[in-house]
Chain A
Amino acid sequence: MGLSPRRDLCVFRVKTVGRTAGPVSGLDLPPMGRATSTAIALGPGDWLLIAPEGRRTALSEQLAAASAAYAVDVSDALVFLLANIDPATVTRLTGLDAARFGRGYAATTRLAGVPVTFTTGDDDRLQIILDVSNARHLRSYLESAL
């Protein structure tokens, strides 16, 4: 099984105040459970925004201008692992319905005791998103669990 991290990503976590997942001006954010190539919905009013590192400044300015939203840079906190794992294996490991992390969708669960988000990229490759400090643990787990 191959796991390779995506490099040179700029990632922000964005939350809206007011606890409503309503539209945020200036940002194209998907609804709950959905994902695009530039944004992943993690929960109510909670997203990851993703861009190439070269767009960091532009994205920061866009976030600064967005109303009713706050963001923190998590580019170094998260790792995006491109995984050569078929969806059925993920279902077997997690119990997630494969449709929930297929293209256009994202699903968050706990795997090996740590929070992970599964989504599928434009190239139909599975992405596993997790805290960078847990990456070593997850790799070891996947070696033992399959």
Chain B
Amino acid sequence: MMRLSHGGGIDRSRTLRFRFDGRDYAGHPGDTLASALLANGVRLVGRSFKYHRPRGIMAAGVEETNALMRLGEGTRAEPNLKATQVPLVDGLVAASVNCWPSPRFDLRAAHQIASPLFPAGFYYKTFIWPAWHLFEGPIRRAAGLGIAPGGPDPDRYVHAHARYDVVVIGAGPAGLQAARAAAASGETILLVEADFRLGGSALWRDGFDPDAAQVALDALPNVTILKRTEVFGYYDHNALAAVEQLEGAGPRQRLWKLRAGRVILATGALERPLVFAGNDRPGVMLASAAQAYARRFGVLAGKRVVVATNNDGAMEAASALEAAGAQVTVIDSRAGIFVTAAKGALGVKAARLSDGRTLPCDLIAMSGGWSPVAHLFSQSGGSLRYDDSIHAFVPDCAVQPVTVVGGAAGDLGALAIAPVWEVPGRGKKFVDFANDVTARDIAIAASENYVSVEHLKRYTTLGMGPDQGKTSNVNGLAILGALTGRGPQAVGTTRFRPPYSPVSFGALAGPLVGRLQRPMRYLPAHGWHVARGARFEEHGPWVRPTAYPLGGESWEAAALREAAMARSGAVLFDSSPLGKIEVCGPDAARFLDRIYVGTASTLKVKRARYGLMLNEHGIIVDDGVFVRLAEDRFLVHTTSGGADRIAAMMDEWLQCEWTDLDVVILPSTTQWAVLTVSGPAARDLVAEIGIDIDLADFRHMTWRTGRVAGFEARVLRASFTGEASYEISVGARHATALATILHSAGALPIGIEALMILRTEKGYLHIGVDTDGTTTPDDVGMAGAIAGKASDFIGRRSLLRSEALRTDRLQLVGLASDSRKLPVGAHVLGPDRASPGPSDGHVTSSVDSPTLGRPVALAMVRRGRSRFGETVHLYDMGERMTATIVDPVFVDKAGERLRA
């Protein structure tokens, strides 16, 4: 191998330094990593996927299957990049993947000795006993690709959308001409090219001037060109996905989501390997690749070259190599002579021929014909047909507005091919280099009746991974056809699916990672809580205070202190995320009658009622308090996490099922900051800060409007603590001011954890915690209102199913334990107390009660309400414990405190 003194598209006046497997090399601008390695005489670049066979560079573009590299170092490293697609830059650091300690001496090359033991599908038949998972780890470590870097990826990835009248994919001669022709109409054109240069095969073949074509396109204002951008997915409605490789200090990659009026596929064709023994040895290369290295990069990949071919296409490569100074021998199978084997261990030293001769050589340039790149066409839903004239599959019927031009359409010139799908002879003959699938593997699959091409793929992994069938598909299915007496058209191809080439997870995730991965919402008084020393946690989509620890206090201790204060003084809880939906219209009451288990139509104005919301299966999905603001207007409070979901559900029912109802849904959750003052001293505290509402005439579950501390406010008497509570709603902009006033008046801020303690003591339900996807109103002791309700409601019919009426359902109860706090999730053991054994329920909420001075818990227990007083045994994570089933209301069963 050598760098030619002239020719090619590289800039010999500048030198770029790079490092590969710890050694320093030099190349030039215009080189790829692959061409630079070849120019430096590096022919062994890695080891194969399964057998760890030595591998060299086989191709010059996206079809490369051997030269997979790890680029970069540390957390920025990226494995499995194709050296043929990596532009050489100064300071580039690359390393081989899947070998240790080096490609030349790889300890796992021992796999080659044991290779007869693991042909295709071996893991389906072995390593079954006692469990596949015992072997999975070592097998996956032994075989495979590069290793992902540890630690978070420090790079940034962005997403972008774009629409064009025409998207041309591929900037070879056909794509460049198609783009120019389309641009003449004045339409907006996007030309996308994976390479860092436009031109495709014209960069190494005569007959077309890509630079002139680019100059012409650059002058057109309606044409946009994206280089280093690979379209990897073609979806419905002409949607395309592409990844652009970016340079500089900004984002590393951009994922494009493209919409095209029409698509022109000019993705060209890829040369196929010949399937002969040792065809994977370093120094065996596609003939077109050898030509590309000579003509585009000025690199002669071998001095003594055997060109093995079954078609006329390779003659152009033979001429180019000869012109570059190589000694070339052409072995054309159409003349009855084949290259049957490549000889040499770490590199080709000779080609063995079918007539018994052995030709010394350092490069075998092979050509098994050409396959149009129809992957994206197939992804678009288009069908393929086998073209006997070129012995390849070509696009047939399109189902989207897509046109295929050039090599991708099968326009390959005078190919004159006489296919030889598998060259006779012994030895490993590789069909899919990326996955180490040999012709014998296909024979094994066929003998085991995996004769569908889809089954063949899954059994052997043919066409999976980085290759995606680019070089292996046609050879593989033709060999299967020969084994099963079918032609390629009868065998067919697999349906190509995205991605055409590997895509990094970073590109797919884009900027929505880390703290942006999920939209988090902040309270209107967030800064005030921060200033009070709140510890925050995520509760649904909201960032909320968990507790307000004081001076080294643990959050658990803070929560207990805050809960105790709620039973003795006055506390302040920020309830702002509480869902608030105004349901308005002449039929609002009828609508809510159907939405809630409870009845809205009998509710008086300024009164509130608690309600459960069910789905069609009768399962509890939300709860809350609804208030009648006027005859035709209700304010519905949902759970904090359910506000958006319930509003959408209501609109869906109105728009899809109950179109006869005159109702509108007006969400207003974030309009109002809700600061709840709760506790025995709550009333006095509210009076102290100034309120124009008559507190003496303000009972539990009623509603008033007025001014509180000077702010226009809505006040609801409802409670989730079991204490007298005033839910004061003011415009969100006033949240901080009102919180400051309430705090100054003596209201201690409490967090979610204290609230959970208080509501558990009181036996109040927490939807999604005490309930799950099986819980009905009767399970939680709230079926009383159903029998007397005249109108229908969502889920009512399902409550009459035998499953809902079973007498042994889980029911909400309390569990009293004197010893320790019961773990949430602990199972109540069945009558035989066996573990593992049947479960009689589980603990759903559990707290240390500061009011009672002992732990209390809520649980769903089989026939729980009929078992009050019974001692049950529980099991959790290897531990056993006992508790007594009791009423779930531990504090103020009569409700005197909250009505105070």
Asked if A77 and B671 make an inter-chain contact with CB atoms under 8 angstroms apart, the answer reads yes
User: Which chain A residues lie closer than 8 Å to B655 at the CB level?
Assistant: 19
Q: Which of A87-119 contact B (CB under 8 A)?
A: 91-97, 112-114
CB distance from B480 to the nearest CB of A (A): 42
A16, B257: Cβ atoms closer than 8 Å: no
B10 to chain A, nearest CB (A): 34
A141 and B664 form a contact (CB under 8 A): no
Interface segment out of the listed A24-32, A33-41, A128-136: A128-136
Indicate which residue in B159, B665, B670 contacts A76 across the interface (CB closer than 8 Å).
Answer: B670
Determine whether the beta carbon of B163 is less than 8 Å from that of A131: no
Size category of the B interface is 35 or more
Contacts of B666 in A (CB 8 A): 13, 15, 70-72
Question: Interface readout for B500-517 with A: 1 if CB under 8 Å, 0 if not?
Answer: 000000000011100110
Contact with B along A58-91 (1 / 0, CB 8 A): 0000000000001111111100000000000001
Q: Which of B155-203 contact A (CB under 8 A)?
A: 156, 158-163
Give Cα distance in the complex from A20 to B674, angstroms: 34
Contact of A113 among B519, B665, B672 (CB under 8 A): B519
Enumerate chain B residues within 8 angstroms of A131, measured Cβ to Cβ.
521, 670
B585 contacts the other chain (CB 8 A):
yes
B733 part of interface (Cβ distance < 8 Å): yes
On whether the beta carbons of A76 and B663 are closer than 8 Å, the reply is: no
Please, which residues of chain A bring their CB within 8 A of the CB of B663?
17
Bound form: Cα–Cα A71–B582 in Å:
9
Contact A144 B516 (CB under 8 A): yes
In the complex, what distance in Å separates the CA atom of A19 from the CA atom of B585? 11
For A2, what are the chain B residues with a Cβ–Cβ distance below 8 Å? none
B72 within 8 A of A: no
B842 adjacent to chain A (CB < 8 Å) = no
Known: A72-B666, A93-B160, A112-B516. A137 touches B732 (CB 8 A): no
Known: A95-B161, A145-B158. A114 touches B662 (CB 8 A): no
CB contacts (< 8 Å) of A73 on chain B: these are 668, 671, 731
Q: Is the CB of B161 within 8 A of A92?
A: yes
Does A1 belong to the interface (CB within 8 Å)? Answer: no
Contact in complex: B670, A75 (CB < 8 Å): no
Asked if residues A146 and B672 are in contact (CB atoms below 8 Å), the reply is no
Q: How far is the CA of A96 from the CA of B259 in the complex (A)?
A: 11
Interface residues of B in 626-669 (CB under 8 A from A): 633, 654-655, 659, 662-666, 668-669
Judge whether A72 and B524 touch: CB under 8 Å. Answer: no
Q: In the complex, how many angstroms separate the beta carbon of A51 from the nearest chain B beta carbon?
A: 16
Partner of A144, one of B156, B160, B161: B156
CB contact under 8 A between A17 and B257, given known A76-B733, A92-B162, A95-B161: no
Closest approach, in angstroms, between the C-beta of A12 and any C-beta of chain B?
Answer: 10
- Closest A residue, CB atoms, query B734: A76
B670: chain A residues at CB < 8 Å are: 76-77, 131-133
With known contacts A112-B512, A112-B519, A113-B518, A95–B257 Cβ distance under 8 A: yes
Distance in angstroms from B675 CB to nearest chain A CB is 14
Having A112-B519, A137-B520, one finds 4 other A-B pairs with CB under 8 Å, namely A17-B664, A112-B516, A141-B516, A145-B511
- Spell out B's residues near A (CB within 8 Å): 156, 158-163, 257, 259, 510-512, 515-516, 518-524, 542, 582, 584-586, 633, 654-655, 659, 662-666, 668-673, 731-733
Chain A positions near chain B (C-beta within 8 angstroms): 13, 15-19, 45, 70-77, 91-97, 112-114, 131-134, 136-137, 140-141, 144-146
13 interchain pairs, CB-CB under 8 A = A15-B584, A17-B584, A75-B671, A76-B671, A76-B672, A77-B670, A91-B161, A93-B159, A95-B259, A133-B670, A136-B522, A140-B516, A141-B516
